[in-house]
Amino acid sequence: MTELKDPKMPKEVQEKGNTVIGITDEFCLTHLDDKYAQLCRNVVGKLARKRPSPLLRGDLRIWASGVIYALAAQNFLFDKSQPMHLGAEQLAELLGVKKTTMGNKGTIVRNLLKIGIFDPEFTHPDLLKDNPLTWMLLIDGLAVDVRQLPVEIQRKAFDMGLIPHVPGEEATDG
C-alpha cells in the first residue's frame, strides 16, 4: 500500500473533512483499494476548500457516501464487466445509507466539482491508460493524442504535469 497524502483544508473545515476522510478511508481500504482512498481524499479536500464548504452542513456519513458514489460512477465501479466492481445497492448497504440519498449526494458532489465524464483528475490510476482524455493535448489549438508524438515531446508533457507517465517509455521499462 502506498502512503496516502492528506489534502490541504482550511482550519475551520479540517475536523469535519478529516471525519469524512476517516469514513472514506475505512471503506476504500476495506472494500476497494488505496488508490480509491486517495481519490476520495482529493475530492474531500476540494469540497473543504469550496467557499462556503458544503461539508459544514449535513451528515458527514452522507457526504462520505456521496464522495464514494461520485467516484464509483466516474470509474465504472457499478459495471460488472470491470475487474473491481460493486453494485450501487451493495455500496449503500456497506456504507449504511439509503441508495437514493447516496446517489443524490453523489450528484451534488459531481456538480460542485464539475466532474465530467472521463475527467483524468478523478479517474482511478488503473483506468487512466484507457481514458482517452488523459492523453489528449491541445497543440496550437489542435487536439493531439500525445501517445502518437515523439518520446521527447511526451517527456516534456510529463515534466509539465500534463500526463501521468511517458507512454513511449513503457516498452523499454523492465
**30-46: pLDDT as tens digits:** 999 999 999 999 999 99
Q: Does residue 134 carry a pLDDT above 70?
A: yes
Question: What number of other Cβ atoms are within 10 A of residue 67's Cβ?
Answer: 30
- Split at pLDDT 50, 70, 90, the class of 174 is very low
Helices (DSSP H) in 50-174: which residue ranges?
A: 60-74, 88-95, 99-112, 125-128, 151-159
Cell numbers found for residue 58: 449535513
Q: What is the mean pLDDT of residues 83-88?
A: 91
For the chain, give the mean pLDDT.
Answer: 91
- Measured CA to CA, the distance from residue 145 to residue 49 in angstroms comes to 32
Question: All domains of the chain, ordered by start, with CATH?
Answer: 11-116 (1.10.472.10), 129-169 (no CATH)
